[in-house]
Structure 1
Amino acid sequence: MITKANENDLEEIIVNSVNAVRDVTTSNFKPLQGQVRNIIRKTLDQGGYYLILKEKGCLKGWILIDISKDYFKQQNVGFIYEVYVLPIYRGKGHSKELIKAAMEELSLQGCSEIRRDIRTTNFYKEIGFINYHQR
């Protein structure tokens, strides 16, 4: 089930985010938990929020989303900043499930466009994302 994260969920995300950062970077950099907490809180304080995939009380993954205004188009634009599925739950389509839920959520909130700030892969092309720099 995908829902908006509550404070308890956020604590679990913060604990697991240290490994999430290591998984998505190309170096062996491992941030401190306090650093991760500060980055997450800053994003949340500015309006971003997490949707989480949780089943039977177990957190399986999350997606961090936000809405901003495109001042040139005068439209709300949705952003996907982070998608993460815990290693033991990978390979079951959970990332795609989280992304689709985020796209629906952002669309319901009036976003005419959704952008992502995550690595470009064929996976994102499959579900409709385009790379503006390669048009």
Structure 2
Amino acid sequence: MEIRRATFKEVQKIRKHALSVLKESTMDRVRPSIEKARHMTSASLDGSSYYLVYVEESEIKGWAAIGATFDFYTDKMVGIITELYVFPEERRKGIAKKLCRQSCNHLQNKGFQKVQLNVFAGNDAIKLYEKLGFYEVSRLLEKKLHD
């Protein structure tokens, strides 16, 4: 088992799963499209962001996309985990926890003092993130204005 920065070839494999990751991570609240999926993964290819992969026996079991973002509330740059995904058949084995911890380590080594992530309400991953020390900072509410 190893966690390391993804190679170009591995990033291409990850991108092939972008539609299903988008659908699952947004709890079916976003209609997946190639354009949205490309936008989602393009940030991880811009040079300042990158993927970490969890590899076992030469196979990717999961990944995390990490980078930086500007926090308008504190006027500071913070680390961000923009994507954390483990294949369904590999879940409940501690892979997400290891990826999240390693992501935080990478970001801390880059000098960030905070790490943020966004997770949709109802996503079971919230429990994991809270166990790892993440806490709710804000809550986005919405109301539909049509029938």
Is the TM-score greater than 0.5?
A: yes
Question: How far off its partner does 1:71 sit?
Answer: 7.1
Between the aligned partners of 2:103 and 2:94, the Cα distance in structure 1 is 14
1:123 corresponds to which of 108, 112, 128: 128
SS of the aligned residue for 1:133 comes to coil
Question: How far off its partner does 1:26 sit?
Answer: 2.8
**Counterparts of residues 1-135 of structure 1 (less than 5 Å):** 1-27=2-28, 29-32=31-34, 35-45=36-46, 47-70=48-71, 75-119=76-120, 121-133=126-138
Say whether the 8 Å CA contact 2:27–2:120 is kept in structure 1.
Answer: no
What amino acid is the match of 2:53?
A: I
Question: How far off its partner does 1:9 sit?
Answer: 0.5
- What residue ranges of structure 1 are gaps of 5+ in the alignment? none
What amino acid is the match of 2:19?
A: V
SS of the aligned residue for 2:17 comes to helix
C-alpha spacing 1:71/1:24, structure 2 compared with 1 (3 Å) = closer
Question: How far off its partner does 1:117 sit?
Answer: 1.9
SS of the aligned residue for 1:65 comes to strand
RMSD, aligned CA: 2.4
Say whether the 8 Å CA contact 1:61–1:86 is kept in structure 2.
Answer: yes
What is the TM-score with the length of structure 2 in the denominator?
Answer: 0.78
Q: How many residue pairs align between the two structures?
A: 133
What amino acid is the match of 2:119?
A: I
Question: How far off its partner does 1:72 sit?
Answer: 7.2
- Structure whose residues are more often helix by fraction: 1
SS of the aligned residue for 1:110 comes to coil
C-alpha spacing 1:72/1:88, structure 2 compared with 1 (3 Å) = closer
Say whether the 8 Å CA contact 1:75–1:112 is kept in structure 2.
Answer: no
Say whether the 8 Å CA contact 2:18–2:41 is kept in structure 1.
Answer: no
Say whether the 8 Å CA contact 1:64–1:83 is kept in structure 2.
Answer: yes
SS of the aligned residue for 1:78 comes to strand
Between the aligned partners of 1:58 and 1:125, the Cα distance in structure 2 is 28
Report sequence identity in percent.
25
SS of the aligned residue for 2:93 comes to coil
Between the aligned partners of 2:91 and 2:42, the Cα distance in structure 1 is 26
Say whether the 8 Å CA contact 2:44–2:66 is kept in structure 1.
Answer: no
What amino acid is the match of 1:108?
A: N
